[in-house]
Amino acid sequence: LHEEEIKRLFSDFLQRKSGIVGHGLKKIVRSLLWENYSPPNIYMDTQIAVYLLNPAEASYALPSLVTQYGERNFTIGEKTEEGQLDLDGGPQIAQMEAAQEALCASVLVEPLQRAIEEQNLMDLNNEIEIPLIIVLAEMEYLGIKVDLARLTGLRDELKNEVEEIRKIIHELAGEEFNINSPKQLQVVLFENLGLKPGKKTKTGYSTNAQTLEKMKDDHPVINHLLKYREVEKLRSTYGEGLLAVVGEGERIRATFHQTVTRTGRLSSDAPNLHNIPVRTDKGKVFREAFIAKEDWALLVADYNQIELRCIAHLSGDSGLIQAFEAGEDIHTSTAAQVFGVSPSAVSKAQRERAKMVSYGLIYGMEAWGLAQRLGIGNKEAASILNSYFGAFPSVKDYMESTVQIAKERGYTETLFGRRRRIPELSSPNAMTRSLGERQAMNAGIQGLAADIFKIALVNLNHKLKEKKMASRIVLQVHDEVILECPKEEISEAEEVTIEIMGSAFAMSVPLAVNISSGITWSEAK
């Protein structure tokens, strides 16, 4: 057989009507894309099927899954030691392992398919997760372009700055020590300088930013330490870290994991592109280093307040729904209802508090959590929470019934049927049980938002191809999607993106989408 003939036969196999099966297919799809194959027709990814059945699965190693989910008595041979692979075994061993993997996956298909059907996870699997494999594989394959000179410049600046602050700190401390070592820092602060310690950690006294913040007035070194931490974090994690993973075409290619989080969200690693700084001026400049290729631009679209909108939809709370329909600033609207004043009379402080409560709500916050956050007493926090629930009573009902149902069943379910077991709910430990309750409240909200966002990703990728557009998705950050577009295609891409994201799922509140474009990620914000 000629090579071309083999390629054609392989292509036909990948496109077969009945679809292909594999374990962790995204990686394979990515390899196929590098070899110029079209994305395959997927029937099942056993890894994803297991994830849907239990998003807390400890390991996705095939032999253990076969034992756990397979119905046949089935043992596979000794796994080859990694080190031997290249030495003597050669390609035969890799082929043998691939064959074993395929065999394991094939044994799993039927029982997994049945379990997926039994738990009503068919739609989630077939309409969302499986199509998403291709979208993510293409995103990973493309990667996002970075401005190498800019990134290097940032790294170098930070390096110099860290060095300067380091000298000052050693001067003020009166000794040389490793500032990166919390252990050494503790000795310097609490023993040698005699400062008063605050919070404790498992092994000693805390030196985290929150604690240091409170010690600001006790010694001039504290402010420099805080600065050092900020700059050193940026230098190491983002400066050095990102430079180390720049690949072909000056692009960074992260891996987006589909089977990691308990909630249905994606995670990103090598590098993690989900936590690129944005909060501080010093940090957010890194977003200027993420760019579009020559004559193209980045288009950034994100859902406005999607999780709070999910709460409004799930609870059916008329007040909250009304607040969103008004189309005004949501925190001002909620503050007006919570504090019983007209929106125009809402003070800055009131808006800020309402905002805190709204965010807290998403995380299943209780009174003491809010107190911590706002730096107020427990009583006052309870009273704010009370007025909030007074203004939005159905939200309170929803939270309570969510926890109740989760306790009865032992798991939560999103609107789309995504399940998550929460064993913490039956813990004998009260702290752990509270954690379980927060997890239960958060799971349905964050999970629904994740489901909606995944639908949008799948639909958007599909629409771009259908319209034969050159624009493509290059990055995803939980409720935000970044496209790289030829400049002349931008306005069309904006239209398409807003339409697709806005209509991903019909809720009792509108799905609002913010959109903008620019040469850099920062500019398109």
Partner DNA sequence: GCGATCACGTT
Partner DNA sequence: GTACGTGATCGCG
**Residues near DNA, by CB under 7 A:** 178, 180-184, 201-204, 206-210, 229-230, 233, 236-237, 240-241, 244, 257, 260-263, 265, 267-272, 274-280, 283-284, 356, 359-360, 363-366, 369-370, 372-373, 435, 438-439, 442, 446, 477-480
Question: What residue ranges in 23-99 does DSSP mark as E strands?
Answer: 42-45
Sort 497 into a burial class: Cβ within 10 Å, 0-12 / 13-18 / 19+.
buried
Residues in CB range of 352: below 8 A, 6 or more apart: 331
Of 226 and 469, which has the nearer Cβ to DNA? 226
Q: Please answer whether residues 332 and 346 qualify as being in contact, where contact means their C-beta atoms are separated by less than 8 angstroms.
A: yes
Q: CB neighbours (10 Å) of residue 22?
A: 21
User: Tokens for 125?
Assistant: 């699997």
Residue 366's region, left for phi above 0, alpha for psi from -120 to 50, else beta, is: beta
Q: Which of 133, 145, 146, 127 is nearest to 256 (CA)?
A: 133
Q: Alpha helices of 215-258 — where are they, by DSSP H?
A: 221-233, 241-243
Of 14 and 509, which has the nearer Cβ to DNA? 509
Work out whether the CA dihedral 65, 67, 72, 78 comes out positive or negative.
positive
User: Tokens for 424?
Assistant: 């913490």
Of 118 and 240, which has the nearer Cβ to DNA? 240
Of 1 and 87, which has the nearer Cβ to DNA? 87
Of 39 and 412, which has the nearer Cβ to DNA? 412
Cis omega (within 30 of 0) for bond into 271: yes
Per-residue H/E/C for 197-215? CCCECCCCECCCHHHHHHC
Residue 502 CA to residue 306 CA, distance in Å, equals 11
Of 297 and 445, which has the nearer Cβ to DNA? 445
Of 7 and 257, which has the nearer Cβ to DNA? 257
- Using only C-alpha atoms, the chain has a radius of gyration, in whole angstroms, of 26
The nearest distance, CB 458 to DNA, in angstroms, is 18
SS3 298: strand
The nearest distance, CB 510 to DNA, in angstroms, is 19
Of 25 and 450, which has the nearer Cβ to DNA? 450
The nearest distance, CB 424 to DNA, in angstroms, is 9
Name the helix (H) or strand (E) containing 302: strand 296-303
In a 13 Å sphere around the CA of 66, the CA atoms on its Cβ side amount to 17
The nearest distance, CB 448 to DNA, in angstroms, is 13
Residues in CB range of 437: below 8 A, 6 or more apart: 364, 403, 425
Residue 525 CA to residue 150 CA, distance in Å, equals 19
Of 63 and 369, which has the nearer Cβ to DNA? 369
Of 183 and 467, which has the nearer Cβ to DNA? 183
Q: What angle do CA 362, 365, 371 make, to 5 degrees?
A: 130
The nearest distance, CB 190 to DNA, in angstroms, is 11
Q: Alpha helices of 340-429 — where are they, by DSSP H?
A: 348-362, 367-374, 378-391, 393-409
Of 107 and 173, which has the nearer Cβ to DNA? 173
The nearest distance, CB 178 to DNA, in angstroms, is 5
Q: Tell me 486's DSSP state.
A: E
Residue 472 CA to residue 145 CA, distance in Å, equals 13
Task: List the beta bridge partners of residue 44.
Answer: 21
The nearest distance, CB 84 to DNA, in angstroms, is 16
The nearest distance, CB 49 to DNA, in angstroms, is 18
Residue 68's region, left for phi above 0, alpha for psi from -120 to 50, else beta, is: alpha
Of 125 and 439, which has the nearer Cβ to DNA? 439
The nearest distance, CB 356 to DNA, in angstroms, is 5
The nearest distance, CB 318 to DNA, in angstroms, is 24
Of 317 and 424, which has the nearer Cβ to DNA? 424
The nearest distance, CB 392 to DNA, in angstroms, is 16
The nearest distance, CB 193 to DNA, in angstroms, is 16
The nearest distance, CB 332 to DNA, in angstroms, is 18
Work out whether the CA dihedral 67, 70, 75, 80 comes out positive or negative.
negative
